A and B are shown apart, each in its own frame.
Chain A
Amino acid sequence: MIEKLKPPKWYLGVIISILVGITLRICLGTNPYSGESSPPLYGDYEAQRHWMEITSNLPVSEWYQNSTSNDLLYWGLDYPPLTAYHSFIMGKIFSIVDDGDFMRLYTSRGYETEFTKMVMRASVIVSDLLLLFPSLYLVTKIDFTHSTENDNFQEDVNQKKKGKKNEKEKEKEKNKLHKNKQKNILIWNLMLLQPSLLLIDHVHFQYNSIGLSLIIFAYYLACQDKWSISLVCFYLGCFYKQMNLYYAIPFAIYYLTQLIKKKKYRVLFLSFPFISICCISITFLPWLLTSADSLKQVINRIFPFERLIYEDKLANFWCLISPIIDFRNDFSIQITKLFSLLATLLFSAPSNYNLARHGGQLRFKFALLNTSLAFFLFSFQVHEKSILIPAMIATLFIQDKELSIYSFWFILTSAFSLFPLIQREHSELAYISAVGIFATAYWLIAWNQIKITNLTKKLLLVNSLIIILAHGLIYIQITPNYPDIGELIFHSIIGLNFGLVYIFFSYKQFTISSNLIKNNEGSENTDYFKKLK
């Protein structure tokens, strides 16, 4: 019997990736979440649960209002309406699933059982499966579609030259396509293991992946010239978490420049305003219908400008210079607001200027990373969790041959920066395994394919060793007078890394763009031009 010798089908790889992702997420989910059994305020898990309780039990108009049944001081809702709607749906589902006190008003505060923990964790995993997995899969295909276009182009040329191709070449091309597909799946697998998102969503407990993957959809669709849907996705992402507005400037500039360049004035002047009005009005409809005051209250809750410039210690500019100039306590809120606004604009300007000047997908990606990092470092009221926003874009850089190692560096550093947060919840095991698994997977999957000089390899190794050693500072109390000094040193090392990442990626954006002008617009692959000659 002659058997057909075929390599395994590509979808087997997809199934494996999904299974690996799910298994890892479930395993991480067994670790304690933020504020597990620590009354009276608990943590972010309780916040999410409380929002479900509020939204599923109270009428829409009371969600953001302080009232007897909704104490805003106890984890009041401070995310945009889409989060509220999501909580509403989850709350309704959970009140069916668990007929105990899980979603009952007042009495359910701090309600924790093994079963409800499982259910909540499962809801995060499901949202990952529905949004994050497909969005990242599409992104890995971007470069892939480029290469097939090139192949097609080459094919045309060949056909003109030789006429029909023989079978062997077709087979070769098929094999190449297959290999490309497998590579993409592996890269996708690697992206799914991004440790900071895993740690915040599946250990600490939040639903960041929903907002972030909506933004990734928007990015993908913008790269595919599907402007209107992309804009809708972007709005959805921002209405899920207002922090996604870190991405707003590059998105706006990219839309504008591309639409003007491609002369799609109808989209720009008809569809875009229409979509904006529709999206905003539909999301805020319940509050628009009641009164202007309620809308104002929602906005106030979402953008808490009366709060301080930062809360916990984090690797942020304002926090790190606090030993020298304490912006949080010594200045009025107005001045700190002004300072942070100016600094943010100043540092996000260069890469956005570059994007506006030259356009192009790669520069768009750069601008997204640089701007969001600038926002993280300099803007007002930043959480340590906001590092997820630049880290997500850095994840997209993993498939780039030259920049892969730097994005790996940034992702690792961002995961390291979350250590104090995780340590407070006693989830060190989850932290070690998430970071370790990502590093191992990177080594297995991407290490052979990246370009790296010996010097950078050594520098990065030494750097990460320093950070790993610095983890000890969190545990050690150096002097009793300044109990937080260890944490501050830890964060300043991390902050220094973030600053370096910002400088490096800005530098790369400027140098790469000059290369791109020489070649053709938007194409990173120059091989086929050489072949043509």
Chain B
Amino acid sequence: MLVLDHHDYVSTATIIFQRLSVLLMDVPLYLSIIHLKRYLNGKYGQVFTRGDLVLILLNPGLILVDNMHFQYNSLMLSILIFSISFAIRKKYLISLFLFCVVLNLKHIYLYYGICFAFYILKNYVFHNAINFLRDHNKNRKRKAEKEISMVLGNDIPQVFKWDLIFMRLFKIFVITFSVFFSSFYPFLRHEFDTQLSAILGRLFPFGRGLTHSYWAPNYWAIHTFVDKVLQVVTGKAGKTGFKTRGVVGDLDEHVILPTVTPLMTAVITLLALTPLIKVLIDTKSPSFLKTKIIFIESIAYAALSSFMFGWHVHEKAILMASIPLCLLASHSLFHAKISFILNIIGTFSLFPLLFTFTENVIKVCMLLTFASFSYHHMKSQHLNFSSFMQWYEKLYLILLIPFYLSIIIFRCLPIYEKLPFLPLLFISVYSAVGIGYVWLSLFFKVLSRFIDFDSSKKEK
């Protein structure tokens, strides 16, 4: 089974063993969610309900990718949720350790890096310093107001502990370094340079195209789609034609719209992530619960932004945004709506992964089941859920059904032989619109954490 020459090795026992190994990974996922739930619910009432648990454990996207397509996302998500849970419990070092572990399991979790970095920096490393500064400011104000009547007892300034900050920074460094070192050491023992560049090349495939074989439904899908349409309309179709035919390794060249380089995507992604820094290090945190919610929200936002603007994104990466959002589904109406839409669209965008007839039936059934269940769950959590959803959001979700039906019909037509990738293109563009909408609303939500857009539209 594990002999290197055995490509495409298939036997019943192997399949059963591997499937079972994935199936078992639901146990840590369950445990991690319970771990998070215990703390949140124990302190703040019903933040997290049993239905949310079902939303995550029976998430059709997760089932499609893990149990049918075969990956180990549940395991990594469980470590991530444990890490979030520990961060919220103020066990920052354990959280950091777990995050480094999951980062070494799958480097795509780098998406979350910014959130963890700033959260831990603010709450752990500079916690003391921030408190000191706040007190200092307060004291200074008070001094200005009541300059004459000085009450000495209240004005003892806290000590600014430089050594504490350095100590904590050192601890963080040790943990991060040791995890990375132990994971990379077996490879880097010999021929340091070539190995490192080989690994990095495998991990960060900037040589591959802007879009993955099936276009992930992100901004670049729309970008490329518009470019193709413009090419056809203006008749300037380049000699490349429809080059992103699903072959990994093709570089896209946009003809009308500007061609995108890795650097551009990186800059745009970082720009999209900048509001998070402000949100995460915001010193006047409103309430303790809200900081936790903001942390989870920012994690989802970071993943979604990287998904939207990243270079060579896989469509499976949508799970990294949709699963953390499920954690907040019972918290507020807004999050419920967002996670409802994102989960449905995300799963829909994963449909091309599975293509045999039986799998087609199963995935459609699963999505329908999940959609109706989550609607039921959201509606019992937030009674005005259905009226909170805008008409265009409902229309968009309902139109999925005729859209998918027409794609099925298209596959039966003779023209399908000539344009086999057209349905995939339409699926990713259609989902990209929905995911883009979700990203935009989350973006404004994040901005509204520190900018007051409209006082009447404030969240209750």
Query: Which A residues fall within an 8 A CB radius of B?
Result: 3, 5-8, 12-13, 15-16, 19-20, 22-23, 26-27, 29-30, 114-115, 118, 426, 428-429, 432-433, 444
In the complex, the answer to whether B376 meets A16 with C-beta atoms within 8 Å is yes
In chain B, residues 354-384, which have Cβ atoms closer than 8 Å to a Cβ of chain A?
Answer: 356-358, 361-362, 365-366, 368-369, 372-373, 375-376, 379-380, 383-384
Q: Which residues of A contact B387 (CB under 8 A)?
A: 3
What sequence of 0s and 1s flags, for each residue 17-40 of chain B, a beta carbon within 8 Å of any chain A beta carbon? 001100100000000000000000
In the complex, the answer to whether A426 meets B365 with C-beta atoms within 8 Å is no
In the complex, the answer to whether A7 meets B369 with C-beta atoms within 8 Å is no
Q: Identify A432's interface contact among B12, B20, B365, CB under 8 A.
A: B20
Q: Which residues of A contact B356 (CB under 8 A)?
A: 114
Q: Identify A444's interface contact among B20, B50, B357, B383, CB under 8 A.
A: B50
What sequence of 0s and 1s flags, for each residue 45-66 of chain B, a beta carbon within 8 Å of any chain A beta carbon? 0000010000000000000000
In the complex, the answer to whether B375 meets A12 with C-beta atoms within 8 Å is yes
> Which residue on chain A has the smallest CB distance to residue B388?
A3
Q: Does B156 contact A (CB under 8 A)?
A: no
Q: Does B151 contact A (CB under 8 A)?
A: no
Q: A3 CA to B376 CA in the complex, in Å? A: 18
| A-B residue pairs, 3 tightest by C-beta | A5-B383, A19-B369, A23-B365
What sequence of 0s and 1s flags, for each residue 325-368 of chain B, a beta carbon within 8 Å of any chain A beta carbon? 00000000000000000000000000000001110011001101
Q: Identify B379's interface contact among A8, A22, A428, A432, CB under 8 A.
A: A8
Q: A444 CA to B373 CA in the complex, in Å? A: 15
What sequence of 0s and 1s flags, for each residue 95-132 of chain B, a beta carbon within 8 Å of any chain A beta carbon? 00000000000000000000000000000000000000
In the complex, the answer to whether B380 meets A20 with C-beta atoms within 8 Å is no
B29 to chain A, nearest CB (A): 13
> Which residue on chain B has the smallest CB distance to residue A8?
B379
B141 to chain A, nearest CB (A): 43
> Which residue on chain B has the smallest CB distance to residue A21?
B369
In the complex, the answer to whether A6 meets B383 with C-beta atoms within 8 Å is yes
B456 to chain A, nearest CB (A): 13
In the complex, the answer to whether B383 meets A7 with C-beta atoms within 8 Å is yes
In the complex, the answer to whether A16 meets B373 with C-beta atoms within 8 Å is yes
Q: Which residues of A contact B379 (CB under 8 A)?
A: 7-8, 12
Q: Which residues of A contact B380 (CB under 8 A)?
A: 7-8
> Which residue on chain A has the smallest CB distance to residue B356?
A114
Q: Which residues of B contact A8 (CB under 8 A)?
A: 375-376, 379-380
> Which residue on chain A has the smallest CB distance to residue B382?
A5
In the complex, the answer to whether A15 meets B372 with C-beta atoms within 8 Å is yes
Q: A432 CA to B387 CA in the complex, in Å? A: 41
Q: Identify B384's interface contact among A3, A118, A426, CB under 8 A.
A: A3
Q: Which residues of B contact A5 (CB under 8 A)?
A: 383-384
8 A-B Cβ contacts within 8 A? A3-B384, A19-B369, A23-B362, A23-B365, A27-B362, A30-B362, A114-B356, A114-B357
In the complex, the answer to whether B361 meets A26 with C-beta atoms within 8 Å is yes
Q: Which residues of B contact A7 (CB under 8 A)?
A: 379-380, 383
Q: Does B144 contact A (CB under 8 A)?
A: no
Q: A7 CA to B382 CA in the complex, in Å? A: 9
In the complex, the answer to whether B358 meets A26 with C-beta atoms within 8 Å is yes
> Which residue on chain B has the smallest CB distance to residue A1?
B387
In the complex, the answer to whether B357 meets A22 with C-beta atoms within 8 Å is no
Q: Does B16 contact A (CB under 8 A)?
A: yes
> Which residue on chain A has the smallest CB distance to residue B383?
A5
Q: A426 CA to B23 CA in the complex, in Å? A: 17
Count of CB-CB pairs between chains A and B under 8 Å: 57
Q: A29 CA to B357 CA in the complex, in Å? A: 13
Q: A22 CA to B373 CA in the complex, in Å? A: 14
> Which residue on chain B has the smallest CB distance to residue A20?
B369
Q: Which residues of A contact B372 (CB under 8 A)?
A: 12, 15-16, 19
> Which residue on chain B has the smallest CB distance to residue A115?
B357
Q: A22 CA to B16 CA in the complex, in Å? A: 23
Q: A12 CA to B386 CA in the complex, in Å? A: 13
Q: Which residues of A contact B383 (CB under 8 A)?
A: 5-7
In the complex, the answer to whether A30 meets B50 with C-beta atoms within 8 Å is no
In the complex, the answer to whether B365 meets A12 with C-beta atoms within 8 Å is no
Q: Which residues of A contact B366 (CB under 8 A)?
A: 23
User: Given A426-B12, A444-B50, A13 and B384 touching (CB < 8 A)?
Assistant: no
Q: A22 CA to B364 CA in the complex, in Å? A: 11
B171 to chain A, nearest CB (A): 41
Q: Which of B368, B372, B384 has the most CB of A within 10 A?
A: B372
- Add 18 more A-B contacts to A6-B383, A20-B369, A444-B50 (CB < 8 A): A3-B384, A5-B383, A8-B376, A8-B379, A8-B380, A15-B372, A16-B372, A16-B376, A20-B373, A22-B365, A23-B366, A23-B369, A114-B356, A114-B357, A114-B358, A115-B357, A118-B358, A429-B19
Q: Identify B362's interface contact among A16, A26, A426, CB under 8 A.
A: A26
> Which residue on chain A has the smallest CB distance to residue B369?
A19
Q: A23 CA to B20 CA in the complex, in Å? A: 20
Q: Which residues of B contact A433 (CB under 8 A)?
A: 23
Q: A29 CA to B12 CA in the complex, in Å? A: 16
A131 to chain B, nearest CB (A): 20
Q: A170 CA to B58 CA in the complex, in Å? A: 37
Q: Which residues of B contact A429 (CB under 8 A)?
A: 16, 19-20
Q: A348 CA to B23 CA in the complex, in Å? A: 43
Q: A3 CA to B20 CA in the complex, in Å? A: 47
> Which residue on chain B has the smallest CB distance to residue A428?
B16
A439 to chain B, nearest CB (A): 14
In the complex, the answer to whether A13 meets B376 with C-beta atoms within 8 Å is yes
In chain B, residues 52-91, which have Cβ atoms closer than 8 Å to a Cβ of chain A?
Answer: none
Q: Which residues of B contact A22 (CB under 8 A)?
A: 365
A522 to chain B, nearest CB (A): 35
Q: Which of A3, A13, A19, A429 has the most CB of B within 10 A?
A: A19
Q: Which residues of B contact A444 (CB under 8 A)?
A: 50
B402 to chain A, nearest CB (A): 19
B235 to chain A, nearest CB (A): 44
Q: Identify B365's interface contact among A6, A26, A115, CB under 8 A.
A: A26
Q: Which residues of A contact B358 (CB under 8 A)?
A: 26, 29-30, 114, 118
Q: A383 CA to B361 CA in the complex, in Å? A: 33
Q: A3 CA to B362 CA in the complex, in Å? A: 37
In the complex, the answer to whether A12 meets B16 with C-beta atoms within 8 Å is no
Q: A439 CA to B140 CA in the complex, in Å? A: 63
In the complex, the answer to whether B369 meets A16 with C-beta atoms within 8 Å is yes
Q: Which of A8, A15, A428, A444 has the most CB of B within 10 A?
A: A8
> Which residue on chain A has the smallest CB distance to residue B385?
A8
Q: Which residues of A contact B23 (CB under 8 A)?
A: 432-433
Q: A5 CA to B387 CA in the complex, in Å? A: 10
> Which residue on chain A has the smallest CB distance to residue B379?
A8
Q: A26 CA to B68 CA in the complex, in Å? A: 13
Q: A506 CA to B355 CA in the complex, in Å? A: 52
Q: A12 CA to B376 CA in the complex, in Å? A: 7
Q: A115 CA to B19 CA in the complex, in Å? A: 24
A152 to chain B, nearest CB (A): 27
In the complex, the answer to whether B362 meets A118 with C-beta atoms within 8 Å is no
Q: A115 CA to B375 CA in the complex, in Å? A: 34
A267 to chain B, nearest CB (A): 43
Q: Which residues of A contact B357 (CB under 8 A)?
A: 114-115, 118
B199 to chain A, nearest CB (A): 35
Q: A64 CA to B111 CA in the complex, in Å? A: 68
Q: Which of A7, A12, A23, A426 has the most CB of B within 10 A?
A: A23
Q: Which residues of A contact B369 (CB under 8 A)?
A: 16, 19-20, 23
